[in-house]
Amino acid sequence: MEQRELGKTGMKVFPLSFGASSLGGVFHSLKENEGIEAVHTAVEKGINFIDVSPYYGHLRAEIILGKALKNITRNSYYLSTKVGRYGKDGNNYWDYSAGRAVESVYESMERLNVDYIDLINVHDIEFADLDLVCNETLPALVELRDKGIVKHVGITNLTLRHFVYVIEHVPPGTVETVLSFCHFTLNDDSLVDYMDFFEQHGIGVINASPFSMGLLTERGAPDWHPAPEPLKILCKKAADFCRSKGKSIEKLAVQYSVSNPRIATTLFSTTRASSVINNIEWTNEPLDEELLEDIRRILKPRFRDTWLNS
């Protein structure tokens, strides 16, 4: 895989990166040792960017990832985590205050067994008062960046227009990256509408969830998936069509999501080493353009359908 630059951060990443949300049991149950093996396999096979959050599995993902990272040389990967969104005792909660953001960074470093974070993100800003993010959360993270505790600062979000508001209301260079999920996939490519804006501001773009949180898989979306039912039905139809042709919708989804060179990297998540290997191999194979057109026709009636974050 070729390397791509992540904005002006100086980080050179591969088109495919490891998202550790699955280590928290977000999508399906997992065995801890298998999750650790998946992380080791990803790094051994050349993946050099890993993303996680204290929210995933309500700390569990960071804890398991931290165990995996104990045995990996620190300079062989870039590590990304988040502040602002959390969970405890089965309940979600949000806290975008400066004090909590700073505490969260140090807590994450302890769980992850590292002494610095390459990229710290304000997590899912659509749940926050955006002015609070601009005036309190991000300045606190920039101060940590100035101290070298974190190397770079970014924001994550499902609702794309919120990126624009925040970037336009903070000093240039405050936001170095954005992480967008489910908006450059087989069923939704709306991220491309914002690429000129991001590039004009020197911001690197991370795409996440090539499988659209499970919609674009043979197994299908988890019960909690917030997508509208007509879209779920069409995605299942698309998966069935691929299967009938002896093809894999997962393979097509990954290949499509890494196909845009303007997007630095795409995060996928798994707890299985075999799936890590498959995803890397798929990335290195040519995209099946004929199959892509067939799937686009199936998904066209609900193309770019989205949902509210939950």
Q: Which residues are catalytic?
A: 56
The C-alpha angle 114, 272, 55, rounded to 5 degrees, equals 50
In contact, 167 and 157? CB cutoff 8 Å: no
End-to-end, the C-alpha distance of the chain in Å comes to: 34
SS3 state of residue 310: coil
In contact, 53 and 123? CB cutoff 8 Å: yes
Smallest CA-to-CA distance from 283 within 14, 79, 11, 67 is with 14
* Nearby residues of 302 by Cβ (< 8 Å), 6 or more positions away: 187, 228, 230, 231, 234
SS3 state of residue 129: coil
In contact, 249 and 255? CB cutoff 8 Å: no
Give start and end residues of each alpha helix (H) in the chain. 32-44, 60-69, 98-112, 130-132, 138-147, 160-168, 195-200, 229-244, 249-257, 273-283, 289-299
Half-sphere exposure of 32 (CA within 13 A, CB side): 10
